[in-house]
Amino acid sequence: MRPGLLVSRFLLVSLLIYGAFLALWGAWGEAYAHTFRMTIGGLFRSVVSGGLVRVEPLASPTAMWDSELVLINRNTGVEGAQPFGTHYLGYAPTALLVALVLASPVPWSRRMLALGWGLLLYHVWIAAGLGMMIVDGYSGMPELELIRTGPWTKRIVSFVTMTMTKSTVTRYAVPALFWVMVTFRSDEVRRLRAQAGGEKSA
């Protein structure tokens, strides 16, 4: 297959798969968001000494935010909240990763292996981002402070948290990076190059 046609087919198939997943959010969204909140709530419930973390749906959800991390200082009883979106942070980037992997011009056995590794890596990334939100909340809000840091450390934590959880660039770049990492081995890259070179020579 000609390189241009190969790329065009990849782009078309990946866009169709990604679009299908986004279209299904209306049917799957509520169940996905509930499962997401249950998992994150169980994972981070008592991660900070003296603190309690709950994950709840927003009372008035928006297109971007539908959930919140409720951070509680057990010593004072003070609560604070960090909003996030299960679609924005979890569903849409995961759908992009799945679409890129399934549309890749590699054997199906490789795609399935890449899909497993890619989903694992991205969900670790999601957990890390939400973990940073918790650190940011417990170090950046005076009334909740359970993690003491200096002013520069607070700025760094806030910047990293923003980059991991609220940046549109990161939302698309990280799944794409993981796709490349888990899908293309050196022998497959050489095969695709050889195939492209052979087509050009022909």
Query: Does 125 map to a domain?
Result: yes
Query: Does 185 map to a domain?
Result: yes
Best CA proximity match to 97, nearest among 193, 3, 171, 2: 171
pLDDT in tens, 93-134: 999 999 999 999 999 999 999 999 999 999 999 999 999 999
Query: Does 56 map to a domain?
Result: no
Best CA proximity match to 172, nearest among 103, 112, 100, 66: 100
Query: Does 51 map to a domain?
Result: no
pLDDT in tens, 121-176: 999 999 999 999 999 999 977 788 999 888 899 999 999 999 999 999 999 999 99
Query: Does 50 map to a domain?
Result: no
User: Residue 196: pLDDT above 60?
Assistant: no
Query: Does 76 map to a domain?
Result: no
User: Residue 10: pLDDT above 90?
Assistant: yes
Identify which has the larger pLDDT, 41 or 190.
41
CA–CA distance, 53 with 112 (Å, rounded to integer): 35
User: Residue 202: pLDDT above 50?
Assistant: no
**What is the overall mean pLDDT for the chain?**
90
Structure tokens at 40: 């994150």
Output the pLDDT for position 7.
Answer: 85
Of the chain, the percentage scoring pLDDT greater than 90 comes to 78
Output the pLDDT for position 102.
Answer: 97
Query: Does 180 map to a domain?
Result: yes
* Full residue range of the structural domain in which residue 118 is found: 3-42+86-201
The span from the first CA to the last CA of the chain, in angstroms, equals 11
Q: What domain count does the chain have?
A: 1
DSSP 132-187: HHHHHHHHH-GGG--S---HHHHHHHHHHHHHHHT-HHHHHHHHHHHHHHHH--HH
Query: Does 78 map to a domain?
Result: no
